[in-house]
Amino acid sequence: PAGQRLISATFEGNPLDASMEFLVVTNNYRGSGGGNFPHVADNVILATTEINREAIIKYIQYIGEIDPVPTNNWKILPIDTAGPLLYRSSPEGVGYIERNAIRGIEFIEVDEAGWGIYEVDLVELAKYLEDTVMQEVK
């Protein structure tokens, strides 16, 4: 719900407070208040028509090399669902899940239309993804 999306927000180990100021880099949609993203359009430092992706590419080309090591400084909290979280996909996806030892997704069955039915455990899947990212960093 709005007003409950961020918890424990800090900067350099200190809790955020209303007296702190930050430079927010965003696209023109959000910067102009799109998606109910308020308070940014009042204090624009630089407005450009350049696409974010292009600006990042130019920056990397200018720097020459970057080291994209994840900092794991944020996460999505688990949510409570009203029941099992199921989705349909190719039944062949079970082979991908098994080959990659993906935790948090379980193949249930093939339905009458030929779709594979999978159940997702968001907490276990998040742990798997976190472990996988950390393995790639090492």
In whole numbers, what is the pLDDT of the chain averaged over residues? 84
Q: Torsions phi, psi of 88, nearest 5?
A: -105, 140
pTM over 0.95: no
Q: Give dist(CA 46, CA 23) in Å, integer.
A: 11
Q: What is the pLDDT of residue 60?
A: 92
Q: What is the pLDDT of residue 83?
A: 85
Burial class (CB in 10 A: 0-12, 13-18, 19+), 40: middle
Contacts of 93 (CB under 8 A, 6+ apart): 107, 116, 118
**Other CB atoms within 10 A of residue 84 CB:** 10
Q: What is the pLDDT of residue 132?
A: 80
Instruction: State pLDDT tens for residues 69-117.
Output: 777 777 767 677 888 899 999 999 999 999 999 999 999 999 999 999 9
Tokens 């208040």 correspond to 33
Burial class (CB in 10 A: 0-12, 13-18, 19+), 134: exposed
Q: Looking at residue 19, what DSSP letter applies?
A: T
Query: Please, which residues bridge with residue 15 across strands?
Result: 10
